Structure 1
Amino acid sequence: MRNHVANEQFELGVCYYPEHWPEEMWAGDYRRMVETGFTIVRMAEFAWSIFEPEEGNFQFELFDKAIDLAHSYGLKVILGTPTATPPAWLTNRYPEVLNVTDEGVTLQHGMRRHYNYSSPKYRELCAGITRQLAQHYANHPGVVGWQIDNELNCEINVFYSESDHQAFREWVQAKYETLDQLNDAWGTVFWNQTYTSWSQIFLPRPTPTSKQPNPHQALDEKRFISDNTISFAKIQADILRELAPSQWVTTNGLFGHLDSHELNEKLLDFFSYDSYPQFASIHTDPEEAEPLRDRSWSLSLSAVRSISPNFCIMEQQSGPGGWVNRMNMPSPKPGKMRLWTYQSIAHGADKLLYFRWRTATMGHEIYWHGLNDYHNQPNRRVREAAQIGRELAEAGKHIVGTRNQADVAILRDYDNEWDGEYDVWHGPFMWQSNKEWFKALQKRHIPNDVLYMRSKTTLKDLIPYQVLIYPHPAIMSDETARLLDQYVQQGGTLIFGCRTGYKDTRGQCYMRLFPGAAKDLCGITVEEFTMVQGTRLPTSICWGNDPEALTGADAFNDILHVEEDTVEVMGTYASDYYAGKPAVTRNRRGKGEVWYYGAVFNAEAAQKIIDSLNLSSPAAEWLELPPEVELQIRNNDKSGYAFLLNYSEEAVTITLKEEKTDLLTGETLSGSCKLEGFGVRVLY
């Protein structure tokens, strides 16, 4: 497999749907794409019935013409395998391919992603269309790569057809081998759920208390869905590798119940992501203090970078977004599309395509606006894209292949994400603490990575980081604890939050003092704990000996007890019946240290820890930035580039203590400089 996303030139392009437009419009569209600075287009990911209007009857004329014409204009083509939208003839003839709810209701044809991954017939038909496409386009000089399906697990990420129940039954039988081992892992002795035959095993189904399954079964359900999704994608990847070995393979997404790291490692040349920053804005809690809004999308991009250090943005938001009945996003203000583009590039994108060339005039996405409006006349968004095209024509060759630099990483893992969907005693805390830590680091201009702890993770993966933040890993194996201890012993700083280390990989609670597997690392125990909600008043933490240095102790409180003389109490509870008890501790261990924070993090508490650790921006010696500006750094062996992104509508002042050049404009800068509203600089 290849590792590169682009070779020597940044690839800028757009998603295009020739089947939506009269053929006489194509040449004008392609000409204008090239004039805009685009070099690549994606097409065909929803076009199954164009290629196969009836079973076994394959037609390529429309896309042959569209691809040949694109190639004649110098445009490269990415082809999608069209398996996200099975045609009506298929679902009518083979209804077993359709997805089903946990209550047994079949989800009918009429939208997209209305299929299940387990149906042998659907897998057969997907293999058939993929093989036909690969054979036909493998040697086309205009086709450079393939996108498998589209947004795996988007819209829906649970599956309950009869084929899914059967596949799950086979999956658990392979995993546990005996019913005794399955019963032990799922704790079925509780409430008399013990299974005595494999035929009794199903995916979670409705229970007398509605959708509340056995929690250990629910965790295995997510693991199964991920494995099943990857096995579905593998069918197509294997065919493409066999028949089109000179063309690269990717897929786009980052959706639930899917180990995207494993998907990427096993099947892809690189990972692709669909970047829509306004989702972060419209989902912002109205009560959140100083929300980052679209800037918080950088945390999602950091997660993408953990999968594929250099990646493709297969869909970059270019206009107001919305389906007919939902997702009513406003139009981006002037400069915002450019800002979002460089946000993606700053975080590792080496190839980027806007969604879409022209807004659809029919269907659910008539309000999901592309670069061009319905009238197809010049507009502000097209002019903004052309500016980006001009900039990247020169600057892109310097950026491609550089890697992000960060000394801090936020740790995550799939088991805790999946277990936490159901377990409200730790799941919601992880997302809150991730966001608050990211906010605190952003305001200090300290770039961070997101790093997923996996069975393949080694000390080599951890030691590049000065600080690791693992907010609420309820599930923690002894093996993971030993690896983290090795990291600390050699000099690293590790930060935990409440609800750490008390579950094993089955999701069952250890019969140990909390924090369970992390106890020796932390040098403390949890003598008591409580939710902070409902009728309970908010609590606070006093840092050091200063009674004025208070921060909120949000959502959950672990009351700590010091067990080792290497432990220093950094903060105590300032209220409630446990006032004066340890709330924050630091354990010196080997050459490093382990912090335990007994609540759910907020940005103010994170700032206190940042101050205690003397963390500073990697550009602090030569650059002063206001809090509105994000800093990201991409390096290679020869040079480094500092991306400055202003998320404020107003111009801000930056101060350079040494002379730098802006890669995008060629300007030489020093001293105090203005960065326009929604402005971008790339300094070296």
Structure 2
Amino acid sequence: MRKAQTYKWNQMELGTCYYPEHWDSKLWGEDLRRMKENGIFTIRIAEFAWNKFEPQEGVFNFEFFDKFMEIAVDEGMKVILGTPTATPPVWLTEKYPEVLNCRMDGSPFYHGMRRHYNYNSKIYQELSARIVDKMAAHYGAHPAIIGWQIDNELNCEVDEFYSESDTLAFREFLKKKYLSLEKLNTAWGTIVWNQTYNAWEEIYVPRTTIHNSTNPHQTLDYIRFVSESAIAFCKMQSDIIRKYKKADDFITTNGMFGNLDNHKMQDQCLDVYTYDSYPNFAFCLEENPLNSDDLNDRKWSRNLMEVRSICPHFGIMEQQSGANGWNTRMEAPAPKPGQMMLWAMQSIAHGADYVSFFRWRTATVGTEIYWHGILDYDNRDNRKLTEVRQIWERTKAIGEMVGAEYQASVAMLQDYDNTWDSQVDVWHKRLKKQSEKEIFVAFQINHTPMDIFNITDETQWEELAKYSVLIYPHALILNEKKVHTLETYVQNGGILVLGSRTGQKDENGQCVMTPMPGLLASLTGTNVREYTFVGPADKAVTMVWGDKSVDTGVFNDILEVASPDAQVLAVYENNYYSGSSALIERKEGKGKVLHFGGTFTRENTKELMDYTGVLSPYASLIELPESCEIVVRKKDGVEYYIVLNFAAEEQVINLKSSLVDMDTKEEVAGKIMLQAYETRVFC
């Protein structure tokens, strides 16, 4: 069972990221006043300012930020204070080079960028704990502070760590997990290619090899180790801050990045989770927009679904306000008129009750001179600032929606074992990446709100019961605890949809010598006799389902019925396994399970949604074109319908019943024209 979220915003608020150390102090007061005039009443500061607090080792000086905080108090500005451990200062890395992270070949990342440290250096842990303690002791009772941000974007830029400190810590991690080398050698399959270890000192973090191929079972454990290292570093800081902070002040960090169990970090370290949302990445030249995904910036809704799975009522610490780019990489267009509102409302629709724009003013120096803020270099009012004010007016109009729950009757299951296994197994990666993308697209274009749910060994079936349908696309790794939870969910009326490769591996990433779907076989009443990728020279494989021919994706398990109460719903229509089972249903208790032998596409996902009864649940109320997303949040029995137009052209929606437009407070019905990128909220 997940730990309950311990902090929620009681009203919708806007903020921005501000760097007083970048600007003449004469601008500070004027900047804060301009923010307030346009609806911004909270700022995040100091996450990269270690040298301002400790210009020399052991020499602490709070005069600079004390002066700024006095102005913040005078202006009534609320402050989120960041700990500055994402960027250790030069004096630190020069004196203690062991704090530097390293490449896989052991060569260090030198000073000059950011996030160049490793979590496991003992001296870095000590110095980080000391600066956090000094800051928390000094500012913990400060009246302007409402929250604390730990570090900045843990595991951003790089989520792999290969320093000597990491090797030493990895050995201790493995000793605690396996207790003996015999157990480790078995779990890692070290008999292959003479990898058997006879001493703990022979074990290292993954190192450079031919083709950079590594033992997949070792690498899976290494990713788990990286996650635990980041969480321990975060918890060290949150434990310190809790000794000093005011009772109502929250602790957060901003993410979400790889090789990190963000759910566990939220539960163990944080009061609330915040995310950095940059939908404009879809249009970066570096991403080749001429061949971009068909949903472009709309695909950020999938990220926000995952954030919501971590923390249902989250904040946005960095919301796109301008073109993103560095002097060394990333070139992107400016947001078009209306897109700032669209992207802010995209965040709010998916659960954000606090939205902070990055940044107040575009930097005039440094690597991020092209990561544009609300204001440009010239510091003049502009259309982006006007749009911020419009967003403020919108948040006031829909303020009663704060804390409303996102509504979805279907969820896609994920878990970290399978996510991380897909990083070390390219066969798994292709299936997972394609299916999860296509499932999301299918739900979006068919206007079916969905959740992402992270299933763990502690998950109770009651947590899943609010969903009538669960899709577990490719659960290669299974264990008995998760299987028991899923079986109980089905027995109590749930519908579980499984895809190919289910049950192929154990928790070490080793393939099991039992027919797939492995531990779920008794529930599905099926087994897999044979399987194959659909090759580039093959014709697309389809299945006959009723009177329809439906594609089955890039990989096919050839299924067999293994239980008399299992029913074949569809058979493959071509390739050498034509006529073999492709989709089998079995009822269990009050529910049922669908075992699908293929990978998910938008077409077959739509058919599965239709069959299970969750397709387009609001079609009788609102008719929408494919380019529009609908999100529904509910509070105190009232449903709020957020419609987002991601198209650069006008779109027509049709309200089939009268609803209240929350901006105008007027009842509306019938056809309504949405301008390019326009958003509307009804109740």
TM-score by length of 1: 0.96
Deviation of 1:544 after TM superposition, in Å, equals: 2.2
1:522 Cα shift? 1.8
Match for 2:348 among 328, 345, 348?
A: 345
Distance 1:341 1:448 in 2: 19
Match of 1:642 in 2: 641
Secondary structure in 2 aligned to 1:539?
coil
Q: Name the residue aligned to 1:232.
A: 233
- How far is 1:640 from its partner? 2.1
In the other structure, the counterpart of 1:632 is 631
Name the counterpart of 1:305. 308
- Residues 332 and 112 from structure 1, CA distance in 2 versus in 1: closer, same or farther, beyond 3 angstroms? same
Equivalents in 1 of 2:292, 2:52: separation in Å?
50
Q: Which runs of 5+ in 1 are unaligned?
A: none
Distance in 2 between residues matched to 1:218 and 1:139, nearest whole Å? 44
What's 2:277 paired with? 275
Question: 2:363: which partner in 1?
Answer: 360
Partner of 1:125: 127
Query: Residue in 2 aligned with 1:55?
Result: 57
Residue number in structure 2 paired with 1:19? 21
- The answer on 1:321 being equivalent to 2:320 is no
The 8 Å contact of residues 282 and 296 in structure 2, kept in 1 or not, is answered as: yes
Taking the aligned partners of 1:185 and 1:96, their CA distance within structure 2 comes to 31
What letter corresponds to residue 561 of structure 1 in structure 2? E
1:652 maps to a residue whose letter is Q
Q: Which residue of 1 aligns with 2:101?
A: 99
1:598 maps to: 597
Whole-angstrom CA distance in 2 between matches of 1:638 and 1:221: 47
Q: Please give the secondary structure, in 1, of the residue aligned with 2:603.
A: helix
Structure 1 residues 30 and 289, CA, compared in 2 at 3 Å: closer, same or farther? Answer: closer
- Within the candidate set 377, 382, 391, 1:379 is matched to 382
- Between the aligned partners of 1:289 and 1:382, the Cα distance in structure 2 is 29
> Does the C-alpha gap of structure 1 residues 477 and 6 become closer, same or farther in structure 2, counting only changes over 3 Å?
closer
Amino acid at match of 1:226: S
Q: Alpha-carbon deviation of 1:518?
A: 2.0
In 2 relative to 1, CA 645–284 (structure 1 residues): closer, same or farther, beyond 3 Å? Answer: farther
Native 8 Å contact 1:5 1:351 kept in 2: no
Q: CA deviation at 1:364?
A: 1.0
* Residues 1:210 and 2:202 aligned together: no
CA contact (8 A) 1:103 1:205 kept: yes
1:234-269 Cα offsets, whole Å, 9 max, x none, are 111011001114321000001011000010001100
Alignment-derived partner of residue 659 in structure 1: 658
Name the CA distance, whole Å, in 2 between partners of 1:400 and 1:179. 53
Secondary structure at 1:202 match in 2 = coil
Secondary structure in structure 1 of the residue aligned to 2:370: coil
* Residues 33-432 of structure 1: pairs in structure 2 closer than 5 A: 33-207=35-209, 209-246=210-247, 247-282=249-284, 291-396=294-399, 398-432=400-434
Return the offset for 1:114.
Answer: 0.3
The amino acid that maps onto 1:173 is K
* 1:658 CA drift (Å): 2.1
Question: Offset at 1:7?
Answer: 4.0
Q: How does 1:479-628 map to 2 (within 5 A)?
A: 479-534=481-536, 536-546=537-547, 549-628=548-627
**Alignment partners' CA distance in 2, 1:289 and 1:323:** 21
- 5+ residue gaps, structure 2, are none
Bigger shift: residues 588-597 or 444-453: 588-597
Contact 1:558 1:583 in 2 (8 A): yes
Q: CA deviation at 1:210?
A: 3.2
Percent identity, aligned pairs only, is 47
Q: Give the deviation of 1:555 after TM superposition.
A: 1.9
* Backbone CA RMSD of aligned residues: 1.7
Question: Contact 1:633 / 1:641 at 8 angstroms: preserved in 2?
Answer: yes
One-letter amino acid matched to 1:204? P
Shift of 1:290: 7.3
- Mapped to 1, the partners of 2:456 and 2:639 lie a distance apart of 30
Q: Structure 2 counterpart of 1:87, which letter?
A: P
Give 1:289 shift.
9.8
User: SS of the counterpart of 1:34?
Assistant: helix
Which TM-score applies when normalising by structure 2? 0.97
Tell me how far apart the structure 1 counterparts of residues 14 and 349 of structure 2 sit (CA, whole Å): 15
| Deviation string, structure 1 residues 616-654 (Cα, Å, up to 9, x no partner) | 333233222222211111112242211111111222222
Distance 2:232 2:353 in 1: 28
Whichever residue aligns with residue 41 of structure 1, its letter is I
Taking a change above 3 Å as real, the CA distance of residues 3 and 477 of structure 1, as seen in their structure-2 partners, is: closer
Letter of the aligned partner of 2:594 in structure 1?
A: W
SS in 1 for 2:110: coil
Q: Bigger CA drift: 563-572 or 630-639?
A: 563-572
Answer whether contact 1:539 1:574 (CA < 8 A) is retained.
Answer: no
The structural deviation recorded for 1:281 is 4.6
Counterpart secondary structure, 1:530: strand
Offset at residue 326 of structure 1 (A): 1.4
Q: Distance in 1 between matches of 2:577 and 2:290?
A: 28
Task: Please say if residues 234 and 267 of structure 1, whose CA atoms lie closer than 8 Å, have aligned partners that are also in contact.
Answer: yes
Asked whether the equivalents of residues 538 and 554 of structure 1 are also in contact (C-alpha less than 8 Å), the reply is: no
Alpha-carbon distance in structure 2 between the residues aligned to 1:665 and 1:542: 50
| Cα offset, 1:55, TM superposition | 0.7
Taking the aligned partners of 1:327 and 1:429, their CA distance within structure 2 comes to: 28
Paired with 1:313 and 1:64, the residues of 2 have a C-alpha distance of: 26
Count of residue pairs the alignment pairs up? 679
